């Protein structure tokens, strides 16, 4: 006898084959032509000890009868013990048509294949068929409870299970695994998905917070996670047990942890702070409108900003809010006598963490590097004029542009520093040139513009040079020159240069102006009135200019840069221990901006606070006042009546 398995090269499929191989019977793995190399590599590596037992079965679940040839069918009829149907699209970003072809049509075709060879159908469904909206306990006997399934993955998994239930030609058993994570023994996992999106945040807390610090978490969701090796063992055992046709089995843990408990277990495994306090679900619902319990505009803005910056799919965040618990008595009835039990998360959290740290995180980092490579191709051969390029963000942007194949044109006051940066770029095989110019001096800016007009055209201008002053109003009443100095560089200097390059960009119908603004413009940070006012002024100019220049294919991008560890923030001692980007990380934002040409870029904290400002300005004013009163000024602020915390011009 033999087995047929669809989705055998997938996450659960590989672990199921590991189990089936111990039975010593041939396993026919349905595989598309494009995936034959993947299966061959697994046979040479993972399953090298079982040569001859893995048999490729050419086919495709999107074709009738899974596209298996008549010749192959003839050798399988009456010889197959069970067909395990695992193949499906699990991507939470899948579109409806692709999900239907793979999950619904694919199930129908797999059923047809099982009927043709005369075997039982072991259908791997999912707890996703509940849609997460069912409150309380969902039993193995339940199916159609009038749940609303508005996500393509949930809807198509529901429909595929309905297909299996409604037909009578093929004996079947249905399995509904929970959210499948890595092996409880080794931590092995294929990709970052589901709970793994929380791991970088746990790592961030582990690195930056003391272990004794009690953290606050949410108890608003139930995390129905299950390790992949348990799922594979359960599939193997139940499929071979007698008398279970037509039944459904929940492959979940008996005590699904709350989101709070799960985060606590993972943080403990990582060596991070402990989750000691949780807020009740009633607090979570405060962000919803009281009348309809729909998300408030503030909640939607915060959520959208968070998802945009983290890359977490909306459906994954929604799944973390599920309240459904799944009864698994039927599965336990079969598995308990065999000694197969689902371990609880604290028993294997360390294995998940270790594997993520050693394998998944570096793999994800490599993928991001490859993505940056794609972004870099959009910079290749572009002439990019960068102000404030002798140090800090400007220098990092110049190096990043050159590394991406572009030609950075550096502008700053200090010739020696500019020459050194260019020499460094050229030593690494890049191209660069520089112009000495003090953007505070209108005559020098006009001379720079004249030189640029004699050069090949500028395609991108990065207005980065800036001056920052941290001083409260109480110490600025008689210092109008503070505002004049910041406006001279941050507004008038940038404006003069921008107006100088814009005519040529519009005439050529190709140009991009990138302004390095500050998250403080969205936050209206106390003690920075001079700096923020000057940056906000140029932001306003850019918004107006963007509306006029768009028809000439000239784009404006404002980057509301968070704190960056540069000489500009050095005078503010309170920033020494504050979280901050490195200049290279800030430069990556600029490279992305050159490639994608977004209207604006900022982090989710600044976006959320700005959204709150629109909804409740009196509240944000109180929050700023609280921050002003309870965060100390600099040592100079305490020692002098007129402190001067003027950062040097880059």
Rg (Cα) of the chain, in Å, rounded? 30
Q: Is 49 exposed, middle or buried (0-12, 13-18, 19+ CB in 10 A)?
A: exposed
Could you tell me the two tokens for 77? 């009829």
HSE-CB of 198 using CA atoms within 13 angstroms: 20
User: How many whole angstroms separate alpha carbon 478 and alpha carbon 76?
Assistant: 92
User: How many whole angstroms separate alpha carbon 438 and alpha carbon 432?
Assistant: 19
Distances, alpha carbon 220 to alpha carbons 137, 298, 317, in Å: 16, 19, 12
Could you tell me the two tokens for 268? 């403990």
Query: Contact 103/90 with Cβ under 8 angstroms?
Result: no
Q: Known catalytic residues? A: 531
User: How many whole angstroms separate alpha carbon 543 and alpha carbon 600?
Assistant: 10
Residue 404: count other Cβ atoms within 10 Å of its Cβ.
Answer: 24
Instruction: Give Cα 110 distance to the centre of its chain.
Output: 34
Could you tell me the two tokens for 6? 């669809």
SS3 string, 230-259, reads: HHHHHHHHHHHCCCCCCCEEEECCCCCCEH
Query: Contact 128/103 with Cβ under 8 angstroms?
Result: no
Query: Contact 86/9 with Cβ under 8 angstroms?
Result: no
Q: Is the dihedral of CA 466, 471, 475, 477 positive or negative?
A: positive
Instruction: Give Cα 23 distance to the centre of its chain.
Output: 41
Residue 326, SS3 per DSSP: strand
Residues ≥6 apart with Cβ < 8 Å to 314 = 307
């Amino acid at each position: 006898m033999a087995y047929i398995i669809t989705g055998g090269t997938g996450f659960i499929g590989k672990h199921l084959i590991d189990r089936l191989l111990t039975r010593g019977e041939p396993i026919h793995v349905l595989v598309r032509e494009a995936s034959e190399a993947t299966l061959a590599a697994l046979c040479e590596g993972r399953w090298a000890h079982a040569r001859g037992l893995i048999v490729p079965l050419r086919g495709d679940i999107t074709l009738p009868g899974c596209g298996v040839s008549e010749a192959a069918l003839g050798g399988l009829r009456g010889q197959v013990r069970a067909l395990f149907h695992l193949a499906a699209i699990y991507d939470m970003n899948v579109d409806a048509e692709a999900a239907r072809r793979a999950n619904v049509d694919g199930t129908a075709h797999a059923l047809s294949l099982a009927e043709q060879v005369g075997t039982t159908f072991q259908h791997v469904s999912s707890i996703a068929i509940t849609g997460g909206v069912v409150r309380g306990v969902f039993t193995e006997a339940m199916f159609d409870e009038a749940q609303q399934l508005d996500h393509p993955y949930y809807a198509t998994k529901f429909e595929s299970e309905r297909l299996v239930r409604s037909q009578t030609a093929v004996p079947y058993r249905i399995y509904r695994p929970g959210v499948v994570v890595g092996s409880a023994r080794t931590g092995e996992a294929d990709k970052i998905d589901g709970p793994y999106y929380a791991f970088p945040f746990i790592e961030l807390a582990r690195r930056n917070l003391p272990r004794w610090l009690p953290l606050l978490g949410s108890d608003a969701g139930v995390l129905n996670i299950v390790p992949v090796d348990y799922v594979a063992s359960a599939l193997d055992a139940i499929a071979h047990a007698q008398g279970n046709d037509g039944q459904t089995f929940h492959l979940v843990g008996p005590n699904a942890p709350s989101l709070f408990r799960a985060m606590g277990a993972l943080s403990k495994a990582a060596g991070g702070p402990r989750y000691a306090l949780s807020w009740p679900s009633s607090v979570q619902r405060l962000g919803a409108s009281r009348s309809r319990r729909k998300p408030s505009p503030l909640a939607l803005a915060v959520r959208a900003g968070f998802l945009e910056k983290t890359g977490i799919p909306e459906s994954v965040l929604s799944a973390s809010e599920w309240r459904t618990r799944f009864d698994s008595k039927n599965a336990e009835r079969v598995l308990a006598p065999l000694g197969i039990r689902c371990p609880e998360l604290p028993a294997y959290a360390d294995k998940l963490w270790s594997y993520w740290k050693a394998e998944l995180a570096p793999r994800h980092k490599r993928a991001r590097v490859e993505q940056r490579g794609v972004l870099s191709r959009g910079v290749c051969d572009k002439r990019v004029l960068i102000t404030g390029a002798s140090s800090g963000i400007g220098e990092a942007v110049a190096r990043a542009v050159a590394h991406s194949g572009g030609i950075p044109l550096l502008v700053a006051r200090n010739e020696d520093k500019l020459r050194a940066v260019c020499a460094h770029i050229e030593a690494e095989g890049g191209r660069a040139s520089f112009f000495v110019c003090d953007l505070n001096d209108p005559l020098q800016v006009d001379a720079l513009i004249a030189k640029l007009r004699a050069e090949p055209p500028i395609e991108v201008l990065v207005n980065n040079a800036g001056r920052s002053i941290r001083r409260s109003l109480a110490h600025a009443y008689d210092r109008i020159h503070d505002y004049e100095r910041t406006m001279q560089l941050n507004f008038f200097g940038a404006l003069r240069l921008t107006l100088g390059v814009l005519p040529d960009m519009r005439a050529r119908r190709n140009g991009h102006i990138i302004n390095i603004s500050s998250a403080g413009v969205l936050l209206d940070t106390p003690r920075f009135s001079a700096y923020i006012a000057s940056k906000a002024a140029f932001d306003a100019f850019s918004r107006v200019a963007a509306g006029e220049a768009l028809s000439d294919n000239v784009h404006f991008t404002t980057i509301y840069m968070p704190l960056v560890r540069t000489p500009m923030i050095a005078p503010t001692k309170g920033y020494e221990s504050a979280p901050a980007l490195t200049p290279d990380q800030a430069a990556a934002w600029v490279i992305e901006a050159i490639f994608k040409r977004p209207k604006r870029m900022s982090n989710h904290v600044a976006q959320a606070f700005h959204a709150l400002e629109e909804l409740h300005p009196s509240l944000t004013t109180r929050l700023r006042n609280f921050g002003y009163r309870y965060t100390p000024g600099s040592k100079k602020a305490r020692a002098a009546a007129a402190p001067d915390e003027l950062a040097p011009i880059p």
